[in-house]
Amino acid sequence: MILYSFTVGANVKIAMSHSFTSLDPRDQQSYQQFMITQSIYQSLFEIDEFAKISSEILENWKFDGKNLKLKIKKGVMFTNGSFLSSSDIQFSLSRHFDSKSKSIVKDYLECLESVKVKDGVLISVVILDEQNLVIKLKRYDPTIMFILSMPAFAIISSVAEKQGQLVGTGPMIPSFENNKLFLKNKDLAPGQGKIIEISNLKSLSSEQVEVQDLILTSNLVEDQEAMLKGHVKDKMESLSFLHFYGNRTSRLLENKRIRLQLRLAVQDASKEISKDSIYLKSANRFIPRKIMAKEYYNESNDNQLNRDNVDFREKIRIPMLKGQFSEHQIELFRIEFAKKGLKNIEIRSYDLGDFVNVFKKGEFDLLPIIYMANFPHVTGFTHLICSNFMGTKFLQANDFCKGVSNINQMQSSEELHKEYLFLLNEMESENYIFPAFETSLPLYRKSNVEFDSSFHRYESGLWKILKK
């Protein structure tokens, strides 16, 4: 799928709000960084919007429930001219567990038979020969191929890395110049020029911003038009969401009626905010659309909620990340909370570091969290959520996550979705999770830049900017 339309060979200027000081796929944490690294490297698998699995670097693979056998395509070459072998795959996965690793995704590999590293390599990743290897699991777990499609698990050259270089099999070659990153198509003849020029948005003057062809930001607040004159406001569809989560250790939320009113307030406010936003779409269910079967979205617990207002005057703490909502949107939340009888709402905005500390200390009653999801299948989607924030002390959903682990071992697709429907309905009926928004990723583009906003996954490598 072609996401953008430019003339091949043209200089394309892109500004990003996230930094790109490191091009190591293992260390990446944001969707913007993933878009860059996926232009340089490739993961073992790719997952399309229908959950179909494919691969650019594997000839075939076989999964028998506990063993994932991989066969590498002949002739797959790194951009330095060396050929991809089994040892590169083994090395790329193992390095997530070395002492220098900043990997935030290594825990997703807990499904392996063992994460023990011996002589620098995972003992669960076994080389059979140069083209064949096997990844051993503890038990049947279909999420493994979803996990290995993640940009952070991209494959690099083991020989080059040990020489201090990061080399991939992707279509683009990176270079830095004057604090800018340039990506050039590896198949272009020398002298044909730079293809994609990437700058950090924060480092640009207003004049420099004006000449950018595409601007990617993480700010869902739609008040940037003054800075971005000459650009059209647009979006990239994703499977991301922004929901509110109740602190399961909060004394105030022990009152189920209060939780019901909080859910009503959040959902009513989200409907009002959605009317004026292209990035935030009101959601009444936890799992974003396109992942579960249609009946899940048709069913809602809203009709079971008691709409009799309460008179509750104790303080309810709601920390928010700066830039997550505009002042107008925050005021809409206050209004809806007051309508439900929740009259003492403390909403405070924090920088990222302080916000994380508030979360870790449990100094909140209700917390909005945005999650950049990427798996169009419920097994991969819920597995990563439980491995992430829903496994933490204050948001712990033990019964749900234990159920997810058991369900994911089912091999019948029909039974799997039936059990998920039951499990999700049961979890959401507790009203510790308050569905709010399905989110799109913000971008601004020049009017002559064509963009397909229906594309729903954030891992689209920037190399897809080029016409084929």
- Written as six digits, the tokens of 55 are 């691969």
Matching CATH topology for 44-162 and 237-441? Answer: no
Instruction: Report CA torsion sign: 417, 423, 427, 429.
Output: positive
Cα-based angle 75, 171, 149 (whole degrees, multiple of 5): 80
pLDDT of residue 139: 81
pLDDT tens digits, residue range 356-380? 899 989 999 999 988 876 666 777 7
pLDDT of residue 194: 56
pLDDT tens digits, residue range 223-265? 555 456 778 888 877 778 899 999 999 998 998 888 988 999 9
Q: Which residue has the higher pLDDT, 226 or 432?
A: 432
Percent of the chain exceeding pLDDT 70 equals 83
The pLDDT of residue 3 is above 50 = no
Which stretch of 111-115, 183-187, 334-338, 359-363 has the lowest confidence by average pLDDT? 183-187
Percent of the chain exceeding pLDDT 90 equals 35
The pLDDT of residue 270 is above 80 = yes
- Residues belonging to the chain: 468
Is residue 238 within 8 A of residue 441, CB to CB? The reply is: yes
The stretch 101-129 carries a mean pLDDT of 91
**At the fourth CATH level, which superfamily is domain 237-441?**
Dipeptide-binding Protein; Domain 3 (3.10.105.10)
Q: Which residue has the higher pLDDT, 196 or 373?
A: 196
Place of tokens 């004394």: 251
CA of 137: how far to CAs of 64, 155, 466, in Å?
A: 10, 20, 39
The pLDDT of residue 390 is above 90 = no
Domain boundaries, the chain: 1-41+170-213+449-468, 44-162, 237-441
Is residue 399 within 8 A of residue 206, CB to CB? The reply is: no
Q: What mean pLDDT is reported for the chain?
A: 83
**At the fourth CATH level, which superfamily is domain 44-162?**
Dipeptide-binding Protein; Domain 1 (3.90.76.10)
> CA-CA distance, 136 to 144, in Å (whole number)?
10
pLDDT tens digits, residue range 124-172? 999 999 999 999 998 887 778 888 988 899 999 999 999 999 999 998 8
The pTM is what?
Answer: 0.81
Q: What are phi and psi of 109, to 5 degrees?
A: -90, 10
Is residue 443 within 8 A of residue 236, CB to CB? The reply is: yes
Is residue 101 within 8 A of residue 26, CB to CB? The reply is: yes
pLDDT of residue 464: 57
Q: Which residue has the higher pLDDT, 272 or 307?
A: 272
pLDDT tens digits, residue range 59-94? 999 998 889 999 999 999 999 999 999 999 999 999
> CA-CA distance, 453 to 468, in Å (whole number)?
19
The torsion region of residue 161 among left (phi > 0), alpha (psi -120 to 50) and beta comes to alpha
Amino acid letter for position 155 = I
